[in-house]
Amino acid sequence: MRNSLPDLRRERGWSQQQLADELGVSRQTIISIERGRFDPSLPLAFRLARVFDRPIEQLFTDEE
pLDDT one digit per residue (tens) for the chain, 64 residues: 899 999 999 999 999 999 999 999 999 999 999 999 999 999 999 999 999 999 999 999 987 6
Which sequence spans correspond to the domains of the chain? 2-52
Query: CATH says 2-52 is which class?
Result: mainly alpha
At 39, is the secondary structure helix, strand, or coil? coil
> According to the model, what pLDDT value does residue 62 have?
84
Residues 6+ apart with CB under 8 A from 28: none
Judged on CB neighbours under 10 Å (0-12, 13-18, 19+), 57 is exposed
**Burial 17-35, CB ≥16 within 10 A → b, else e:** eebbeebebeeebbeebbe
Q: Do you know the residue count of the chain?
A: 64
> According to the model, what pLDDT value does residue 45 have?
96
